[in-house]
Amino acid sequence: MGLRSFAASLPAALMPGLHKTAPEPTQAEAASFDALLHRLTYLPKGDIKRIREAYKFADEAHLGQFRASGEPYITHPIAVAGICADWRLDAQAIMAALMHDAMEDCGVTKTELIERFEAPTAELVDGLTKLDKLQFSTKEESQAESFRKMLLAMARDVRVILIKLADRLHNMRTMGHMAFEKRRRIARETLDIYAPIAHRLGLNEIYRELQELSFQYIHPWRHGALSKAIGKARGNRRDLVSRIERDVVKAFADAGLKVEIQGREKTLFSIYKKMREKHLSFAQVSDIFGFRVVVDELPQCYLALGVLHQLYKPQPGRFKDYIAIPKPNGYQSLHTTLVSPLGTPVEFQMRTETMHMVAEKGVAAHWLYKAKGNAQAVQQLGSRWLQSLIDIQDETRDASEFLEHVKIDLFPDAVYVFTPKSKIMALPRGATPVDYAYAIHSDVGDHCVAAKVNGEPVPLRAELRSGDVVEIITATGARPNPAWLSFVRTGRARSKIRHFLKNLEQEESQELGQKMLAQALRAEGLALPSLDAEDPEAHALWLDLARWAGNRNVHELLVEVGLGRKIATIVAKKMARMLAAQGQRPDAVTLTLGRFGTDDQTTQGQITLDGSEGATVRLASCCRPVPGDDIKGYLGRGEGLIVHTAECQVGRRLFQRDSEHWIAVAWADEMTRSFEAAIGVLMKNGKGVLAQIATAVSTAEADITHISMSDESQARETAEMQLLISVRDRLHVAEVLRMLKRSPAVLRVWRIKP
């Protein structure tokens, strides 16, 4: 028990009679539930009854389990609940503390806990169980910071963190029976993760103890040596301390100021840190002890400061006003360093009782105040977040509101997930596996096809939660889906997907341009020269052609042909001339095939469409061609290829205007997707008519993608309606028309043509 008894006995050793903390119960006392009950007197009777039930439940669950020290396991949860009771935490938290290891160790389910103890308590236990599963393994400092944030994000409720800290504190206090290496690992984790969290929450008392215990376990020898040195120094300075104490007490009495003076000694860990950071020997660390002056009212802090500055000379530059400007974790005090009669510097801290409580207990002060009913003192607190926390602990408001508020200020608005190799990644709340994939690498994002979270397959749009282990499955041929844009949360994923899709459009355009140029060249009796960059002759030819066309390279030229910005026949004619200049003649066979073939459809090498063309080929919205319709392609300027039905009036008018823009297109044998056809329906107006139409369409195994109806038709006896239906081909359209005709409400149906 070396350290703890040392810490507890410290003020007494320094200055007997001045300040005494309540005696700590012994290990055996603390372990019994009855002893815990004595510390729960701040709670109403009804709460005690429920807490007793939770205790019985936990006791049964842990029956037959023992700690490394040989004690029954239940002594641990009782001790944890005891620490929470010192903070005056509510009944739900005390119950959760008693049952905090029950789910993990004893196979108790959350449903069981909800049934017996209701959801709020079950949620706390569940939250604690989840935190327990996280183990911090890497040594990187940046990862420690992420890990701390992840813990906070996962806990969501500040009570979970408080119980977890109590749990860790008790484990640290009782590690004596563990193997050296295990002790050291836990101590390291405590120092890196839990002590900073305690600090962030302003729980300075615990923060110091966790640091001190960690130091003892990580560096037992250094700790021992330093402890001895301090003991010696304490003996040497005893006279000095008593003298200062006498002077100070007298000065305050003369000034008529009622104060409480406490002696305080720096922790071993903070002395060790100072020695290491500033490269000092122990003898050079002068300010190992100091005094704390606790006053009733805030203005008295400044009065006390005046009294002390009159008594001894202050050291310039050492005065700090943390009352006017509190530390980020809510800490408030005046600090000053005085030169003692023997020339050694001594630090003094001035604060009110309320500030003292916040300084020692931080966020836990909320429950302490609540128990004391001391709302007025709170008004004096100035810290931004702690002030706002304590402001709302107004009696009239409810505890959940307080917790809500803590959440906003404290818990990060992000999710922290693990890679399969235990690296932590931070993502915005609502992020999905796709966001994660792009955060890893854009290649992973571009090729991801599926995801696993904690070993289970999940949809790519699933929302990730803190603590999830995320694994992405990729496939070489896979590409981003435009639909991802509707659910990704990160700007990175969004821009990468857009970038890829834009490139894809270029690729598709290039492919189309190449097909069209090949077709136009065939009409000249020529074959498309090789596009292989390894073929120097062909390469030079292509480059000349691109330059002639005003493009930087072949790729750009083909894209522009594909998009219709350059006319294929003109480019082909130029190429024919260039080939002729090189001495190449049109090939008779190709020429014959290209011009006089019997079957136009195949010999002209028209462009075949199978629905996979993407943005470069559009089906005209006037006639909405579907497979099976006779079609023609119009190469608009810069808009790519637009396909009309052969009979479309709009298409015919365009053909008359500039016929050289038309190229042959045909449907492929197999389609890769469905198409939309437009259908007009004249029907009787009445109830249930729409349902009849919908049934008819689905009987034909088609889907309605859009319905529009003119407003005036509502009042009349008949109504006209336009449907867009998703179909396979022309035959499928006919089938839909047939089914619609059978419907009694339908008077007439037709396919819409301009």
Positions that interact with Mn ion (CB under 5 A): 101, 167
CB of 128 to Mn ion, least distance (A): 8
Residue-wise DSSP of 67-112: -TTSSBTTHHHHHHHHHHHHTT--HHHHHHHHTTTHHHHH---HHH
Rounded CA gap, 613 and 600, in Å? 22
Closer of 167 and 508 to Mn ion (Cβ): 167
Closer of 101 and 435 to Mn ion (Cβ): 101
Is 105 labeled as catalytic in the residue annotation? yes
Taking every pair of C-alpha atoms in the chain, what is the biggest distance, in angstroms? 122
Closer of 164 and 565 to Mn ion (Cβ): 164
Helix (H) or strand (E) holding 630: none
CB of 4 to Mn ion, least distance (A): 18
Kindly list the distances between the CA atom of residue 243 and the CA atoms of 222, 437, 599, in Å, as whole numbers in the listed order: 31, 67, 117
Rounded CA gap, 34 and 43, in Å? 15
What number of other Cβ atoms are within 10 A of residue 272's Cβ? 20
Catalytic residue among 47, 71, 105, 471: 105
Closer of 49 and 182 to Mn ion (Cβ): 182
Asked whether the beta carbons of 510 and 559 are under 8 A apart, the reply is yes
- Give counts: helices (H), strands (E), the chain: 32, 21
Task: Kindly give the pairing relationship between strand 320-321 and strand 631-636.
Answer: unpaired
Kindly list the distances between the CA atom of residue 209 and the CA atoms of 156, 169, 616, in Å, as whole numbers in the listed order: 25, 8, 69
CB of 376 to Mn ion, least distance (A): 37
CB of 98 to Mn ion, least distance (A): 11
What number of other Cβ atoms are within 10 A of residue 337's Cβ? 20
CB of 176 to Mn ion, least distance (A): 16
**Helical spans, DSSP H, in 462-567:** 491-523, 536-549, 554-562
Closer of 76 and 447 to Mn ion (Cβ): 76
Exposure on the CB side of residue 300, measured as CA atoms within 13 A: 16
Closer of 143 and 171 to Mn ion (Cβ): 171
Rounded CA gap, 271 and 750, in Å? 91
Tell me which residue of 573, 674, 558 sits closest to 616, measured CA to CA: 558
Rounded CA gap, 559 and 160, in Å? 60
Nearest residue to the partner Mn ion, using Cβ: 167
Catalytic residue among 71, 104, 321, 729: 104
CB of 164 to Mn ion, least distance (A): 9
Closer of 203 and 554 to Mn ion (Cβ): 203
Tell me which residue of 227, 230, 234, 201 sits closest to 213, measured CA to CA: 227
The residue type of 643 is: V
Closer of 96 and 568 to Mn ion (Cβ): 96
Kindly list the distances between the CA atom of residue 363 and the CA atoms of 157, 331, 339, in Å, as whole numbers in the listed order: 12, 11, 34
CB of 389 to Mn ion, least distance (A): 27
3-state class (DSSP) for residue 321: strand
3-state class (DSSP) for residue 463: coil
Whats the size of the chain, residue-wise? 754
Asked whether the beta carbons of 289 and 14 are under 8 A apart, the reply is yes
Task: Kindly give the pairing relationship between strand 665-667 and strand 607-609.
Answer: parallel
Closer of 101 and 123 to Mn ion (Cβ): 101
Closer of 157 and 167 to Mn ion (Cβ): 167
CB of 57 to Mn ion, least distance (A): 16
CB of 87 to Mn ion, least distance (A): 17
CB of 223 to Mn ion, least distance (A): 25
User: Which residue numbers are catalytic?
Assistant: 104-105
